[in-house]
Amino acid sequence: MDRAFGSRTVSIKDGLSLITITSQGIWDTPGAVSYFSGLFYESGINIEEFISCYTDTLLVLKHSDTRKAYEILSAIMG
């Protein structure tokens, strides 16, 4: 759905979930992001948006993929 705000158009996408991964050292670990995004790819999960800042990694996924994503992350994080 698109909405106009003044001279700008903003798209709104429903049915999304946010997963926040808080970790120490992910910014110093080469390939960490590639590793878990590859696992999502292999499971057919698309990452709609990815944001990383210092200790937080934010993933926006389709709501229907959230449970599967949590299972994957739980398995690799113990």
Using an 8 Å Cβ cutoff, are 47 and 13 in contact? no
Residue 67 domain-assigned?
yes
Q: What is the pLDDT of residue 70?
A: 94
DSSP E strands, the chain? 2-5, 8-11, 16-22, 47-53, 56-62
Q: What is the length of the chain? A: 78
pTM: 0.79
CA-CA distances (angstroms) from residue 31 to 6, 36, 44, 68?
Answer: 42, 9, 20, 21
Number of domains in the chain: 1
pLDDT in tens, 19-73: 998 887 777 888 888 888 999 999 999 999 999 887 888 999 999 999 999 999 9
Domain that residue 58 falls in: 15-77
Q: Residue 73 belongs to a domain with what CATH number? A: 3.30.2130.10
Among residues 32, 66, 29, the alpha carbon closest in space to that of 46 is found at: 66
